[in-house]
Structure 1
Amino acid sequence: MNYKIIDNFISNKELFNIQSLFLDPDITSPIPWYYNAGTTGDYELKIKYDVEDYYFCNLFYVDDKPYSKGFKELKTILDKLNCKSLIRVKGNLYPSTSKRYNHPDHIDYSYSHKGAIFYVNTNDGFTVLEDGTEIKSIENRVLLFDPSTLHHSTTCTDQKVRITINFNYF
């Protein structure tokens, strides 16, 4: 499996701004989070969802346009990814669980394209690639890979939430 990890992807100031948007305990998050009963959204695989398989998400960009509050704050990440054409930008919020839960394998889209997962906060959750490689959730880390290959997320046990931002692009 071909992938690349880049740590310290954006400046500390840019990271602080993004983390404040998602994690500041002193303000009500300006980002709305929407409940999803399953993490895959992959109807082709016909996955049955377990009771632990849920999360909250926000679509920042979809259908060729910004879709939600917070998209402009992610420009600093987009600029570094050198996107020629965006497909989707999606935030994922996984609530903490008492035991780490592995979500089902899925693909983002069935055609080959570029993908980046930006890790907003450090926690004991991870992303698991098709070959079994585990990518730790470390703040300001980005994982570059082809998300048309199987992969999955996990929950975390040591923080209140695990937050990632997924970029699908060409």
Structure 2
Amino acid sequence: MKILFCRHGETQWNTEGKLQGHLDSGLTVKGESQARRLGEQLALHQPDLILSSDLGRAMATAKLANHSLNIPIESSSLLRERCFGELQGQDYRESQHLWEAYERRFVSNEVDINGAESATDVLSRVKQFLRGLSSTDVKTLVVIGHGEWLRVIQNLFAGEQAWSNRQLLPGNCDIIEFNLQSFQLDALT
């Protein structure tokens, strides 16, 4: 199975420097355009199914991209962005100590923010998602998710720690292609 991992389109909070996590803000006009262009790019791969995070920005991206595809869309909470607890919804000018803790998220698994999800908690969701793909009968799958979630899955594929920053954060509506046959699902214990 070929998987095309994609990040959602640009949101209002992306432009304002606010951290979203499990919270949401709407796509900007640019984000909507990115999503439509993403659909055109994905059409070249002839995908069979879109699996999207259940968060609004990812679902809006999936629906706009699907105008060029006209394929089924399913959602999953396993694809949600990493939760950053009390820092969510705040911009870089607020709560400096929380932003400093956020910037240290690449140093260790835990982040010193009340209610924040650890990198290995996200990795557990990633592994559960991948194990579930064994029952998905498609040739090409589109997965629309979020930056930190996508970084964790890239770390898994590269053999890095879940919290590593060696993998670049994908841009809005970037596509990361992966062939699931080359990955050992039985290694996901």
Query: TM-score, normalised on structure 1?
Result: 0.37
Higher strand share: 1
Larger Rg: 2
Q: Which has the higher helix share?
A: 2
Question: Whose relative contact order is higher, 1 or 2, with alpha carbons under 8 Å and at least 6 apart?
Answer: 2
TM-score computed with the length of structure 2 as normaliser:
0.34
